[in-house]
Amino acid sequence: MNVLVAGGAGFIGSAYVRHRLAAHPDATVRVLDKLTYAGRVENLRGLDPERVELVEGDIADTEVVKPALEGCEAIVNFAAETHVDRSITSPGEFIQTDVYGTFVLLEAARDAGIRHLQVSTDEVYGSIVDGSFTETSPLDPSSPYSASKAGGDLMVGAYRNTHDVDALIVRASNNYGPRQYPEKLIPLCILNALAGDPLPVYGDGMQVRNWLWVDDSASAIDTVLEFGRAGEVYNVGGPDELPNIEVVRRILELTGRDESLIEHVADCLGHDRDSAMRLASAVVLYSLRR
């Protein structure tokens, strides 16, 4: 199957392209990516050019999307503006890509009669004090980023209900691993620690996140693409729930630095306090595989 991977030159998208090629010897991939600051051609370096094609372009542009989709049998959409802090200062780009761009891809999937898998985030559920989110938890986004992602998700549901598009959603927790742009917590702290620079920690650093290795995420997304049911939402999380300050302390330990490098900075509006996902979703993935 030839899959259009929108946003495939970014962090998770490029891990997904690698996974897809390794897991399916006959698979080919066309990456459609605007190559924003977060997308890099180098993220696809070393891959077989016979099996991976890169088209530079915007998912919000119908004239780009239509020809890019030719010969593809499914869309996996990673393309998004993704950084919460940037969404607070310039939300317009988030709405344009994460909502309008998703709509353009859904229209194209509808025209072509193919599957659209939307890659979304647990941040659409907002913050939680006790317990965990499930796939049926209400959407309660805290930031323009998560609101834009929730808007994209709702559009996916609407295209499923209104036009019977073969559309479905994966909501993943916080990914970590190679090729992540160093504005996100883990790569930023690793680089700062290695350079001996301060490690910024929002507020008391007690915000809890569910951390997921990016290759596990890629594998889960591929399982849902292959076996998921149209109209469903699949939460994908891991067993590693840690407060940010704990993640930072581990990075300091591993890089041989001490805690004097920690710099507490004011937490900004729109940051979720805690997020947790019920691991029942992992069970769903295993049963899908069988």
Ligand X SMILES: NC(=O)c1ccc[n+]([C@@H]2O[C@H](COP(=O)([O-])OP(=O)(O)OC[C@H]3O[C@@H](n4cnc5c(N)ncnc54)[C@H](O)[C@@H]3O)[C@@H](O)[C@H]2O)c1
Active site residues: 122-123, 145
Distance, CA of 161 to CA of 234 (rounded, Å): 17
Q: Is 159 in the site for ligand X (CB under 6 A)?
A: no
Site string for ligand X, 107-136 (x = CB under 6 A): ------------x-x---------------
Distance, CA of 219 to CA of 189 (rounded, Å): 26
Q: Is 7 left (phi over 0), alpha (psi -120 to 50) or beta?
A: left
Q: Which stretch binds ligand X (CB under 6 A): 8-16, 22-30, 153-161, 250-258?
A: 8-16
Q: Positive or negative, the Cα torsion across 240, 133, 174, 41?
A: positive
Residue written as token pair 């994209």: 152
Give the nearest distance from C-beta 79 to ligand X in angstroms. 4
Give the nearest distance from C-beta 192 to ligand X in angstroms. 19
The answer to whether 148 touches 278, Cβ cutoff 8 Å, is: no
The answer to whether 43 touches 179, Cβ cutoff 8 Å, is: yes
Count of residues that interact with ligand X, criterion CB under 6 A = 30
The answer to whether 31 touches 18, Cβ cutoff 8 Å, is: no
CB closer to ligand X out of 159 and 257: 159
Q: Which stretch binds ligand X (CB under 6 A): 19-27, 32-40, 132-140, 282-290?
A: 32-40
Among 38, 105, 185, 220, binds ligand X (CB under 6 A): 38
Give the nearest distance from C-beta 135 to ligand X in angstroms. 14
Distance, CA of 164 to CA of 115 (rounded, Å): 11
- Residue 19 host element (H or E): helix 11-23
CB closer to ligand X out of 36 and 142: 36
R_g (Cα) of the chain, nearest Å: 19
Residue written as token pair 């962090």: 11
Q: Is 289 left (phi over 0), alpha (psi -120 to 50) or beta?
A: alpha
Distance, CA of 53 to CA of 11 (rounded, Å): 17
Site string for ligand X, 160-199 (x = CB under 6 A): ------------x-xx-----x------------------
CB closer to ligand X out of 152 and 205: 152
> Taking the chain, what is the end-to-end CA distance rounded to the nearest angstrom?
20
Q: Which stretch binds ligand X (CB under 6 A): 31-39, 136-144, 190-198, 242-250?
A: 31-39
CB closer to ligand X out of 181 and 202: 181
User: Residue 41, Cβ neighbours under 10 Å: how many?
Assistant: 13
CB closer to ligand X out of 78 and 257: 78
CB closer to ligand X out of 174 and 192: 174
Q: Which stretch binds ligand X (CB under 6 A): 79-87, 160-168, 248-256, 278-286?
A: 79-87
Instruction: Give the residues lining the site for ligand X (CB under 6 A).
Output: 6-7, 9-13, 33-36, 38-39, 58-60, 78-82, 97, 101, 119, 121, 149, 172, 174-175, 181
